[in-house]
Structure 1
């Protein structure tokens, strides 16, 4: 694969998230990414995506050189997906496709020697994910082909800050965590048939749920488990799963008790896409021996609010008790996708210099295929536990010992 000063990337998929998130993220990273092609199943939607690119200042001047590919193109021989993947001047692809369609397309892209950034989850089920990861690690990674999963939560400033506060000991020793997330999907987000009539497990719980387990995974990794002397991991859960909204089959709500690799640390997570208003909390709370940290995702339309309440300092002898210390940190909520695309570019450029190092390692821990399998395992484990009336399900057993370690 030859290389130009920038990574030449194609965007596959033209739905709402491709338009609203992937396209602006590529535009934001114009110093490292050059958009050269767009693909969609229909030429109409590919053309609409190109029109959206023309409206972005950093892409407008080069929009005329962006090639369109589709399944119904009038010239299918030279404008099919295969034709796109045959191009030697395309280095990488970003996939923003429906969940069931992704594994087959990921395989085609990897086999075509393209670096891949694929949307979460990496597959509809763990069985498909394991087969895909095995194939990637056996056949493609040794050739220097990189694959990351577009799970943006570990790249979000708020979750990164929360992890740092835990890692720095600002909460003391973690003793518990609780998360309550109630989301009513917008008409735009929920109207598509592949979400309202899903042909994959869990429906919206799989589609959106991996985000919220990824956030928990990332923050807890800042704490060292005394029993393993390693970053704390989610290890098992016991869940109740139900459907509250008839339009979101087969389930839209889960409530679970989450165990970790630290025997003294556990917590709860409630996630619902079906609970009606006014329930709208989107708050994680991490409790430690020296403080409590809350991460409020619903504090504002474009910001996330972190609040750290620390143990009160010792009062002077015969002095009045001092109040706990309270610090509020407001961080942007809209930059995570831009940051994950920047990380993807960084991994490719690092590999091109024959020096796989910090960028690749950090990205794999955040959103490599094995890390993404853990998030998928958490949702699949919750669904299995729900089917078994709350029986505890071990996540490592679901993923398999061979595939558990993130590397």
Structure 2
């Protein structure tokens, strides 16, 4: 089968530092990068140059909005018959229109998280895709790399098979430090966000996705109460949320997220905890990857005939390769090479749950919100 013809739409930090390196780790038999697009000729040319160097390409088509040229427009790129798939890495509020434009042009789409800037837009996109384009066998996936991380997937498999017993509680605790010199803050569309939540939406969907991947479906939260606040005036509209969650299986959770930490060192304890009736699981970042620690407890009889609790521990570390895995899964699905592991990765109906959690957390102000109803399409 011929390689999938691919274009990257967007030439920002993540396109250069994540998507190009991810493509470089995939076999050339799977894809062929044909073109790149950005709003300016300068940024598109810069990405194309990086792509040629990293992927050892002789040429990459360059498309842009400014200066205007019908031969170099996005429409011209989407009209190319040798491009069958696009990877959309654009600002949050720009993406929905580009996703629609690409699907209408008959292209498969992998769009960066979040699925949309708000639940309403996400639902409209899902309904339109499932009505108009899915029947035409076009693939649309959301690039949520935390969902594609091997460590979170392995942790999810262990929890689902009952390794730690029935889920009782879960926690995501992420304390981030963002200063004005951060390359992420300096991105113009993040500096003055025109979407809800600012960094809380942009980054927060990751941590929701990690929990979603590790928890069984019955433990996915459907009720929420939260408070949102702003502590650094230059991170509007909010930089902190504290959330209490409730799931259909009566488990409950805490989701704590802030970008207002006074020091980077405070985030050293960041991670996830899933507590079960027979043990617990911890997920933490380590250099280059993610560490999963599983502690299980079982009752045994001692030499004296008395029962006692005996603990055992397993630790494994997986390299962080979520972006590579999500791109590979998308390309294999398009080319018919995908297996069971690719079937649900980046499914829009799952990733809308992450936006719903952040949106509800921003608006709750202590009131109970039905997350299940909010995310229902």
**Contact 1:205–1:379 (CA<8 Å) still a contact in 2?**
yes
User: What SS does the corresponding residue of 2:255 show, helix, strand or coil?
Assistant: strand
1:46-125 aligned at under 5 Å gives the runs 46-56=44-54, 59-60=55-56, 62=57, 64-73=58-67, 76-125=69-118
Q: Secondary structure at the match of 2:66?
A: coil
Q: How far did residue 36 of structure 1 move? A: 0.6
Within a 5 Å distance, the mapping from 1:12-23 to structure 2 comes to 12-23=9-20
Shift of 1:55: 3.1
Structure 2 partner of 1:229: none
| Corresponding residue SS for 1:99 | coil
Q: What is the rounded CA distance, in whole Å, between the counterparts of 1:31 and 1:257 in structure 2?
A: 47
1:370 maps to 349
**Conserved? CA contact 2:2–2:29, under 8 Å:** no
**Structure 2: how far apart are the matches of 1:152 and 1:348?**
18
Residue number among 379, 391, 399 corresponding to 2:358 in the alignment: 379
CA contact (8 A) 1:244 1:275 kept: no
1:129: which partner in 2? Answer: 122
- Give the SS at the match of 2:94: helix
Q: Greater share of strand residues, 1 or 2?
A: 2
Conserved? CA contact 2:147–2:346, under 8 Å? yes
Shift of 1:315: 4.3
* Mapping of residues 171-186 of structure 1, within 5 Å: 171-185=164-178
Q: CA deviation at 1:161?
A: 1.3
Q: 2 CA distance for matches of 1:394 and 1:369?
A: 19
Please name the residue that 1:286 is paired with: 274
1:244-288 deviations in Å (ceiling 9; x for gaps):
22221101111111111212x111110111122231022111111
Consecutive unaligned residues in structure 2, runs of 5 or more: none
Q: How many residue pairs end up in the alignment?
A: 371
Instruction: Return the match for 1:329 from 309, 316, 319.
Output: 316
Q: TM-score, normalised by structure 1?
A: 0.87
* TM-superposition CA deviations, 1:107-152 (whole Å, max 9, x none): 1000000000001112111111111111111111111111000111
Indicate which of 41, 44, 53 corresponds to 2:42.
Answer: 44
Gap change, CA 1:319 and 1:189, over 3 Å in 2: farther
Give the equivalent residue in structure 1 for 2:2.
Answer: 5
**Are 2:356 and 2:374, in contact at CA under 8 Å, matched by a contact in 1?**
yes
For the 8 Å contact 2:112–2:142, the answer to whether it is kept is: yes
Structure 2 counterparts to residues 215-364 of structure 1, below 5 A: 215-221=210-216, 225=218, 232-263=219-250, 265-277=251-263, 278-280=265-267, 281-297=269-285, 300-311=286-297, 314-318=300-304, 324-333=311-320, 335-350=321-336, 358-359=339-340, 363=342
- How far 1:375 moved relative to its partner? 1.1
Q: Helix, strand or coil for the counterpart of 1:202?
A: coil
- Is the contact made by 1:148 and 1:363 (CA closer than 8 Å) also made in structure 2? no
CA contact (8 A) 1:9 1:37 kept: yes
- On the 8 A contact 1:237/1:393 being kept in 2, the answer is yes
Partner secondary structure for residue 173 of structure 2: strand
Structure 2 residue matching 1:327: 3-state secondary structure:
strand
Q: 1 CA distance for matches of 2:301 and 2:11?
A: 60
After TM superposition, the score normalised by the length of structure 2 is 0.93
Q: Cα RMSD over matched residues?
A: 1.9
CA contact (8 A) 1:39 1:81 kept: yes
Asked if the contact 2:141/2:345 (under 8 Å) is kept, the reply is no
